[in-house]
């Protein structure tokens, strides 16, 4: 029965997303809170998995909140993103240091919109005192990920490393981008309690993100800490309900000549519901569908809002 549920991992563990989220430079962070959730550390069936995710985010900040952007300062910030994530993951059958190894990469495409109430002294020294808006439809950065997972009965453990390859659409002078303009690396680990006999599950993942300097703006965002968590209960062998949440905190300040607002440390928390459904998808293939949503609060140097995830995934089915 454990193998039947394992596919849900790829629906609740996602590679990193673009700047539909906000913190750090321009209020934009590499790590998107909520990427991990229920079943994060549960092993999966060996072989290829394909995941497709629709992600929507809507956030805003008051006109009195300042955000660094391209060497200048933006007052107030509002954004909306509609993004499709897609990509393969391969899970090896042979154990590595007693763990299950998975390697994957996620690409993104979609539309991002942003607006500000005012911009004070942009990168070229121009003074703008009116509202401005921007939108872009394009491809974003690439996000490779590697995970190791260990299972001991109802206890599951994992460690991961992921990063940002900055090849997506990005210009320092734009308000809306689908890339962040710099590389990043994120490492962490997590735990999942999952009892297949009762269908009860609880997970938590802790990670730290290091940002490299943006060469276009001479801005280096600080180190970010994030905790993603989830809990679920299966109502039968195919359908589950639960709750998810996250806490994001920047633990070191921003730096570089472009960091005109100083440390500019950010934080935000979020919580919301989730539902999931497993279904057969052909000979030897199992499908899964997962929906979750977060409402944000306790934001600092970061717009608050809400976000919605709808994920489909297909992978090898567990032996009967």
Instruction: Output the pLDDT for position 1.
Output: 47
Q: Could you state, in order of their start, the residue ranges of all structural domains in the chain?
A: 2-311
**Single pTM value for the model:** 0.84
Q: How far apart are the first and last CA of the chain?
A: 9
Quote the CA–CA distance of 130 and 172 in Å, as a whole number.
19
Quote the CA–CA distance of 145 and 200 in Å, as a whole number.
27
Quote the CA–CA distance of 18 and 85 in Å, as a whole number.
10
* SS3 at position 32: coil
**Cβ neighbours, 10 Å, residue 92:** 13
Instruction: Output the pLDDT for position 283.
Output: 84
Quote the CA–CA distance of 92 and 103 in Å, as a whole number.
9
pLDDT averaged over 10-residue windows placed end to end, the chain, 320 residues: 48 41 54 89 94 91 58 64 94 96 95 74 52 87 96 97 94 85 95 96 97 90 94 95 96 83 83 95 89 93 88 85
* CATH homologous superfamily of 2-311: monomeric porin ompg (2.40.160.40)
pLDDT in tens, 18-36: 343 334 555 557 888 888 9
Site of tokens 């910030």 = 77
Instruction: Output the pLDDT for position 300.
Output: 83
Instruction: Output the pLDDT for position 266.
Output: 85
What radius of gyration, in Å, describes the C-alpha atoms of the chain? 20
């Amino acid at each position: 029965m454990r193998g039947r549920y394992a596919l849900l991992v790829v629906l609740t563990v996602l590679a990193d997303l673009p700047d539909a989220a906000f913190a750090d430079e321009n209020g934009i962070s590499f790590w998107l809170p909520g990427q991990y959730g229920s079943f994060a550390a549960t092993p999966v069936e060996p072989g290829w998995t394909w995941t497709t995710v629709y992600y929507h985010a809507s956030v805003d900040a008051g006109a009195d909140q300042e955000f660094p952007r391209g060497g200048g300062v933006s007052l107030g910030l509002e954004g909306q993103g509609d993004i499709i994530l897609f990509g393969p993951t391969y899970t090896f059958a042979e154990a590595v240091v007693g763990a299950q190894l998975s390697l994957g990469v996620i690409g993104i495409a979609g539309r991002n919109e942003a607006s500000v109430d005012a911009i004070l002294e942009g990168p070229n020294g121009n003074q703008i005192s009116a509202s401005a808006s921007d939108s872009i439809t394009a491809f974003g950065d690439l996000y490779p990920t590697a995970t190791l997972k260990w299972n001991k009965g109802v206890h599951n453990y994992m460690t991961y490393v992921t990063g940002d390859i900055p090849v997506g659409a990005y210009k320092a002078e734009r308000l809306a981008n689908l890339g962040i303009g710099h590389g990043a690396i994120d490492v962490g680990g997590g735990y999942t309690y999952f009892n297949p006999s009762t269908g009860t599950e609880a997970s938590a993942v802790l990670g730290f993100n290091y940002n490299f300097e943006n060469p276009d703006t001479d801005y280096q965002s600080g180190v970010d800490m994030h905790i993603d968590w989830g809990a679920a209960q299966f109502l039968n062998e195919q359908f589950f309900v639960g709750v998810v949440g996250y806490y994001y905190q920047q633990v070191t300040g921003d730096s570089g000549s472009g960091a005109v607002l100083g440390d500019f440390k950010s934080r935000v928390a979020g919580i919301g519901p989730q539902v999931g459904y497993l279904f057969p998808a052909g000979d030897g293939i199992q499908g899964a569908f997962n929906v979750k949503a977060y409402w944000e609060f306790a934001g600092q140097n970061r717009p608050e809002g809400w976000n919605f995830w709808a994920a489909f995934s297909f992978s090898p089915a567990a032996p009967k």
